[in-house]
Amino acid sequence: MTASMSSSSGLELLLSSLQNAGDVESTLNILNVLDELLSAGTDRRIHYMISKGGSEALLTALVNTGRSFSPNYTLLLPLLHLLAKVGHRDRRIGVKAEDAGAALLTLNLLRHNVKHARRAAACLWVIQVFSSSVSTANLIGANHGLDVIYRLIPQYTTKHLHAIKAAIDAFAALLCTKANVCSVVSKGYVSGLLRLYEDWHAKATQHAAMAICHSLLRCLHKVTHSAAGRQAFVSQGGIRLLYVTTQTCLLSKGLESLVEPSVQLMRKCLPKTPLPLTSDRSAYTFLMPGRPHAAPDMDVEPDENSVESDDEEAEDNKEADFDDDLETDLSKLRHRPDPDRPKELLPQYNRLCPELSHDFQDLDLSSEPEESSTASSSSSSDEEAALLNGLRFHSSRRGGASTSPSGSPSETDPEGHTPAAAQLEARDFHSHSSILSTKVREARDEAPLGQRGEDEDDEEEDADKSHHRTMIDRLLERHGACIPHHEPKLYRAAAAKTKSIPGFSILAFPDFWGHLPPPGHESMAPRKPNIQRQKVFEDVQRFLTTDGIINQVVFDLEDSSLQCPSDSLRFFSKFECGNLRKAVQVRRYEYDLILNADANSSQHTQWFYFEVSNMVADVPYRFNVINCEKSNSQFNYGMQPVLYSVREALEGRPHWVRNGTEICYFRNHFCPARGRRRTTFYTLTFAITFKHNEDVCYLAYHYPYTYSALKAHLKVLQKSVDPAKVFFQQQVLCGTLAGNPCPVVTITACPASRSWIDMHQLRNRPYVMLTGRVHPGESNASWVMKGTLEFLCSSDPVAQSLREAFVFKLIPMLNPDGVVNGTNRCDLNSEDLNRQWCKPDPVLSPTIYHTKGLLYYLNSVGRTPLVFCDYHGHSRKKNVFLYGCSVKETLWQSGSAVNTVGLKEDPGYRTIPKNLDRLAPAFSFNSCNYLVEKSRSATARVVVWREMGVLRSYTLESTHNGCDQGIYKGLQMGTRELQEMGVKFCHSLLSVTKDVKGLYSQRLISHIDLDHNVLDHKSHNCFEDDEPPCVEEIEYSADCPALTGADLDSDINGNTASADEEEEGDDGCREVKHRQGSVGQSQ
């Protein structure tokens, strides 16, 4: 304590003496002591000195010494050096200097010492430090400081490099203000800086000269902060100059360090290019019930609160902001809000709980399962028809009918289907003529002659339809793969009833034909070194030269009459789940792709799914998706898009496979067509080399899973179960805005008999509710749900035990309309449905309203679900993980002052994640969190936890990429692994049943896949789960890396160590010659 007080008083004594020292020797001694003291320690010593008034003492000493008519530079030089070192660590040094009168004094000293390199350098470092304050930088600029300093920057020389670098660094520091940047631009200094860089770059061979090139680039970065600066940079040939110099740098290892700041500067200054669209709004508009216009005006700036958060539980980049988002109000965390509707409305949901009223009289008819199953299916169809008939009438009255892209309502036929949908029977595929006709000829050659004759006897129109159906039937018979739980004809029938905004009349071949996982695992794609830089250079070339640039629109979703050149790829996306708005051929083998915004919106472009044909084999085609919106993507970390080849499928390999090379994802120079502010677009670029000439292929962001596929899948499952053992009931939760039925499925075990005890056990089984696909672009959620559904309907002993233990309520697709119309985030109302749970609108968000109503009903009859889980996909993290809700963990993480010791909380919310960590190789326990954020207060997970009191309320997040842990480490997730995750989630439910011992019998454990590797699977540390920074900058930096304190100290020490000499007159003459050679002299 005494030593500390002594040290403190000693420093204060030195600082006091410095301000009041009368003789030069004493002042020099104090400065030397302070310099030695600060140099020997860390920055902590300097900050301590600042806290004791060190900056003020040095400024006072500077003013006292510098004001004299003939300043003593023997004293001033060490004083300026020390002030620069200390001031660089003092955030308020500029303001302090201005108050002390030291800023203009230092500028005046510089003016008097432009011929003395060491003195000028010392003044320049101090000016650089003072310019950390905007007001001080403006003060120096207003007093012609920029002009003085600019004239000190010569063309290439080998003399006085410390002073030259100090001048450039001070000039860059002054450009922190808008006023100074405007002054520099107006005086034409941008052109001068470019010529200086060109000269120094051409002749730089030593390290010091390289440092000057870096400093000049820093100046250019600062100048181009403003639009005027960027315009001046481009007009003066800055992009061309940097492009040429970087090509030189790439050939010389010693110059490589200049490449990255040059590339970033070019990216920043490429002129903003509007997307080649007539409007930013989606090509699909839908007349909303009760609204006079087809769509809201989305060309205005969206509400900041409604901006999409990257994923359901997106990670905030700033820790402080993340902590601020945590809910710290204990009353909000623990208080259960009042229901959003009167209790009188809840009995309507009784129809969705048939297991509570079904009398199971058909148990006696178990010897005739087919008839029973058929009756059940028919009942479901009758209910669906009745509901939808009412819904169509309701929708038409309220203006909610499907609309064409122009917004006009589509007509319906007597059956209630759109004419376009009715054509599905006659015209299923779009661009498959070359492949299909070949295969059909093969099939027809083997067909009985009598069969071919029957077709020829039909009338002409019917003959075409019959021929097409026969073609498909023969193709299926000859080439169709045996895909479990998939029937192409059933899919076609389901798709014919699906309602879409444009009235799709084409089926995508992969959805109809089906998909089998490829036989092996697919590794993550290695990232080619500097691939992003290479792509940026190619984009810069497009700006600099028109040689080889085609720039022709070859596909436009809104212009069906567009003629495609014979030698270009052909694109198509007007089918269910499809998303591609426009394709532009840039070069012979390069295409820019523009995605369609979510319906009735101008945002949320990320999901894509389109057909491509007319390709040449073994040639790499580059695809650039240029209007992505998320700020980062797993495409930067080994993820690939998926590809499906029709030719491969017809040859017995119907696989969606990961494909693509040279993949990267980065910010681009495109902007909205209508100038929507603060919108940033990113490019996903990848190259595809097709295997076959004239193939027809499909490319997608992730494995597509359509609404029609769900409907067909549920019908197949209903046929597959034994109705005497499995109670499987498919019902309609409600109709969507477009009139599509939203299915809800009940799965449980039939009672062993109709005895009172068996029926009582059935009626008292706890509930598990699972939902999914609220975000259409998260198709992986549907594949996980598919795995869950198939497992729960299987004869697996674990599935049988789960059916006997629980009643499962599954709503596999909460956003059918979004899925059908290829949106990424929203429903047709342009709202994120997973932000509507607090008070959903029964008309605009019917699926959320009625799902919540069903939960309210179960709660009101004492059947609150034991587990609720909403299946999602995550585009920015690897592995599979859960988000839950915990009061204590939220308060702990937020640093709340609330004492959590007395808070009681059931830790059971961690049971399922812990079990999944042991059961599922793709699951990462350490990626899970249980925090309640304010921005997530209206999500399903939080609302069900808070309002329904469901302890185990989760969001299950599945990666679009793959895993970085366990047995799947380094592998991308396929549909096999996603479906496996759905099975493993079911297995984890065994841990939350009351009769745990009975369920964990040896008989069941033997059926759970717990091999040694998986049992030993441990998630790695949660801090390693988040991706490290991308090896290349996704954003283009606003600035070159700032000078650090160590850099400045090194420059100052170099100046101090140089020969202690007063420059003679001849040195001064040489300095003048250098200045006369400077571009600045021309001003």
Catalytic residues, by residue number, are 957
- Alpha carbon distances (Å) from 400 to 293, 462, 738, 848: 12, 34, 7, 18
Measured in degrees and rounded to the nearest 5, phi and psi for residue 509 equal -55, -45
Count the alpha carbons within 13 Å of 913 in the hemisphere toward its beta carbon.
24
Hey, what are 167's tokens? 């001048």
Contacting residues for 13 by C-beta, under 8 A, at least 6 apart: none
Question: What are the structure tokens assigned to 14, written together?
Answer: 């030195």
Give the Cβ contact number of residue 720 at 10 Å: 16
- Nearest-CA neighbor of 815 among 805, 806, 823? 823
Q: Are 201 and 193 in contact (CB under 8 A)?
A: no
Report the run of H or E that residue 713 belongs to, with start and end. helix 707-720
How far, in Å, CA of 242 to CA of 239, rounded?
A: 5
Q: How far apart are CA 836 and CA 810, in angstroms?
A: 19
Report how far Cα 876 is from the mean position of its chain's Cα atoms: 6
Q: How many Å apart are CA 64 and CA 487, to the nearest integer?
A: 92
- DSSP secondary-structure letter at 1029? P
Helix (H) or strand (E) holding 956: strand 952-959
Q: Where are the alpha helices (DSSP H) in 326-368?
A: 330-334
Report which of 918, 483, 862 is spatially closest to residue 709, judged by C-alpha positions.
Answer: 483
In order, the DSSP letters of 799-868 are HHHHHHH-EEEEE--S-HHHHHTT-SS--TTSS-GGG--SS--TTTSHHHHHHHHHHHHHHHTT---SEE
Provide the CB-side half-sphere exposure for 663 (13 A, CA): 21
The SS3 of residue 625 is strand
Q: Is 307 strand, coil or helix?
A: coil
User: Is 308 within 8 Å of 603 (Cβ atoms)?
Assistant: yes
Question: Which two tokens mark 667?
Answer: 């910010």
Closest CA to 495 of 715, 680, 672, 660: 715
Q: Looking at residue 408, what DSSP letter applies?
A: P
Q: Which residues, listed in sequence order, are joined to residue 591 by a DSSP beta bridge?
A: 585, 623
C-beta separation of 1039 from 221 below 8 A: yes
312 in Cβ contact with 942 (< 8 Å): no
Q: Which residues 6+ apart lie within 8 Å of 912 measured at CB?
A: 867, 882, 952, 954, 985, 988, 989, 991, 992
Tokens of residue 202, six digits: 């051409």
Question: Is the Cβ–Cβ distance between 551 and 582 less than 8 Å?
Answer: no
CA atoms within 13 A on the CB side of 911: 17
Query: Which DSSP string corresponds to 418-468?
Result: -HHHHGGGT---SS-HHHHHHHHHHHHHTS-HHHHHHHHHS-HHHHHHHHH
How many other CB atoms are found less than 10 A from the CB of residue 619?
Answer: 13
**Half-sphere exposure of 86 toward its Cβ, with a 13 Å CA cutoff?**
30
For residue 45, give every residue at least 6 positions away whose Cβ sits within 8 Å of its Cβ, in sequence order, or none.
Answer: 37, 38
